Structures are given as structure tokens and as C-alpha cells.
Amino acid sequence: AQSVAQPEDQVNVAEGNPLTVKCTYSVSGNPYLFWYVQYPNRGLQFLLKYITGDNLVKGSYGFEAEFNKSQTSFHLKKPSALVSDSALYFCAVRPGNSGNTPLVFGKGTRLSVIA
């Protein structure tokens, strides 16, 4: 069975500094990996995904993530954080080529960007 670990419940970063939100996963075969963001009282919004190809994936709002197969990680990054990036971030995984197997999500990491 697949699983996702987000080791940090909370990440604090100063505005303008780079940010990293960590994610590691466990899945059989090749993974499909996702990051979603949740703003207060809103549903989850898709940020980016890795399916195949280039290990560095670029997504919405200047975010990017790097797939590292040997470390089974898919950390979310942004070179310069904005206060508006403050939100709850979820990493998710499912086995590749598995039809519509439901995504398995991590517990989420709350990002707080301080002005």
C-alpha cells in the first residue's frame, strides 16, 4: 500500500527567503506525485504533479518540486516566499498506470510566511 510522509507539521519562513516543504513517499512501481494547497475555508487546489520525464517540475504560483527516486522524495520549493503563500500544503501519491486508484495524501504541512 502506498503512503506519504510530511515530516513537518509547520514551516515558518521569512518573506523573500526560499522555502522547502518536505515529502517522502512509499509506493509500488513508478509513482505519480502531486502537491495541493489549501487556503482557509477553501477546497484543495492543484499546484503541480510529477508523472514522468524531467525530475524538476514547475507549477503554479512559482512553486516547483524535485522528484528524487533514490530518496523517494518530492520536496516542494519556492525561491522567494510571499506572505500570500501562507496556507496548508498536501503531498499525495498513487501508483502510476493504475487506472483511477485514489490518491493517498500526507497529513499536511502548514506554511507560515512572515513579513
Partner 1 sequence: GAGVSQSPSNKVTEKGKDVELRCDPISGHTALYWYRQSLGQGLEFLIYFQGNSAPDKSGLPSDRFSAERTGGSVSTLTIQRTQQEDSAVYLCASSLGVGSIDLTFGAGSRLTVL
Q: Judged by CB under 8 A, which stretch of 23-31, 43-51, 56-64, 76-84 contacts partner 1?
A: 43-51
Give 17's DSSP letter.
Answer: S
> Is 58 a binder of partner 1 (CB under 8 A)?
no
Q: Residue 21 CB, nearest distance to partner 1 (Å)?
A: 14
> Is 103 a binder of partner 1 (CB under 8 A)?
yes
Pick from 13, 48, 81, 94: which binds partner 1 (CB under 8 A)?
A: 94
91: which residues sit within 8 A by CB, 6+ positions away? 4, 6, 21, 23, 25, 33, 34, 35, 74, 76, 105, 106
43: which residues sit within 8 A by CB, 6+ positions away? none
- Residues of the shown chain interacting with partner 1 in the complex, contacts defined by CB under 8 A: 6, 9, 32, 36, 41-46, 49, 51, 90, 92, 94, 99-100, 102-108
